[in-house]
Amino acid sequence: AAKAAGRDTVTLFSGELRAAAQRRLHVTTELRDAIAAGQLVVHYQPLLHLRTRTVTGVEALVRWQHPERGLLPPAEFVPVAEASGLVDELTRWVLATVSRDAAEWDAMGLPLTAAVNISATHMGSGTLVSDVTAALASSGLRPERLVLELTETSVAEDPERAAEQFAELRVSGIEVSIDDFGSGFSCLGQIVSMPAGILKIDKSLVQGIAGSGHKQASQSAAAVETVVSLAKACGMRSVAEGVETPEQLATVAALGCTYAQGFVIARPMPAEDLPRWLGARSRRRAALAG
């Protein structure tokens, strides 16, 4: 009986694995077609420069306008793209789209920096620098307008390779940012020695600041303060991400963060909404200064 049960378990298990693999394959095929069919869209979330209270840049966040399932967040398809080797193609599409949008804003008198998220696998594939250069060349966007975000964890996977490519990108004038800092268990020394210009403080640290118990709030504020001074000591700028409340915004500003990003400032929005949003914001500020 035990033998039979064992066999059943094995059958069931491989059945589940097969189903999971088939699902992944299905999403992969669908996603490949989606890129070609123009179903991917980029939304942009503003970054607020805290000292001047001006919006100086945006982060590009990809979405999939799925014909049946609606607007899908990156968590639903970016991991599949990474696992199936499709992510470089996806990123090339994002880079081209973002460069075109940013060049257009520039021409409208809106000189914003635009940050693009890059997967660890892309850094390993060896085409990152040429893919970025190609997007800049075809859009005419100045390299100074482009920022590439790589997570702390993906940098830690191969720090030497990351350092090489970061250096190469920065020589070309492209800024590099370390995303989700404080969310992983990477070697601090390694991360701060990276040739990157921006450190993005993970939202788990930022969101601990206000709303929760007093003790945790002061500990989170201390953690954010430490990262801010670490960034300063390394000649890096800092971004507080996931800022949701006015209290969190006031705290990260008081702690000396360079930029803030989060729902309290704006949610990610389609490219065509951004100029209008920026216009409304500056009119509101002018009226307040009144």
**Interface positions with ligand C2E (CB under 6 A):** 45, 61-62, 73-75, 78, 91, 94, 117, 119, 149, 179-180, 203, 241-244, 262-263, 268
Nearest Cα residue to 261 out of 45, 63, 115, 100: 45
46 binds, among ligand C2E, Mg ion, none (CB under 5 to 8 A by kind): none
Among 102, 180, 206, 207, indicate the residue that binds Mg ion (CB under 5 A).
180
Question: How many chain residues interact with Mg ion (CB under 5 A)?
Answer: 5
- Cβ proximity to Mg ion: between 86 and 242 the closer is 242
45 binds, among Mg ion, ligand C2E, none (CB under 5 to 8 A by kind): ligand C2E
CB neighbour class for 102 (10 Å; exposed up to 12, middle 13-18, buried from 19): buried
Among 45, 91, 117, 186, indicate the residue that binds Mg ion (CB under 5 A).
117
Is 45 a binding residue for Mg ion by CB under 5 A? The answer is: no
Is 152 a binding residue for Mg ion by CB under 5 A? The answer is: no
- Cβ proximity to ligand C2E: between 117 and 139 the closer is 117
CB of 93 to ligand C2E, least distance (A): 9
CB of 190 to ligand C2E, least distance (A): 20
Task: Give the three-class secondary structure for 44.
Answer: strand
- Cβ proximity to Mg ion: between 4 and 152 the closer is 152
Q: What is the DSSP letter of 262?
A: S
Contact assessment for residue 257 and residue 223, using Cβ atoms and an 8 Å cutoff: no
Q: What is the DSSP letter of 45?
A: E
Contact assessment for residue 160 and residue 195, using Cβ atoms and an 8 Å cutoff: no
Among 101, 152, 175, 179, indicate the residue that binds Mg ion (CB under 5 A).
179
- Cβ proximity to ligand C2E: between 14 and 216 the closer is 216
Contact assessment for residue 243 and residue 264, using Cβ atoms and an 8 Å cutoff: yes
CA distances (Å), origin 39, targets 5, 13, 32, 282: 46, 34, 10, 32
CB of 180 to Mg ion, least distance (A): 4
Which secondary structure element, helix H or strand E, spans residue 114, and what is its range?
strand 113-117
- Cβ proximity to Mg ion: between 45 and 251 the closer is 45
17 is written with which tokens? 């694995």
Contact assessment for residue 231 and residue 5, using Cβ atoms and an 8 Å cutoff: no
CB of 109 to ligand C2E, least distance (A): 26
CA distances (Å), origin 77, targets 66, 72, 88: 11, 8, 13
Residues engaged in binding Mg ion (CB under 5 A)? 117, 149, 179-180, 241
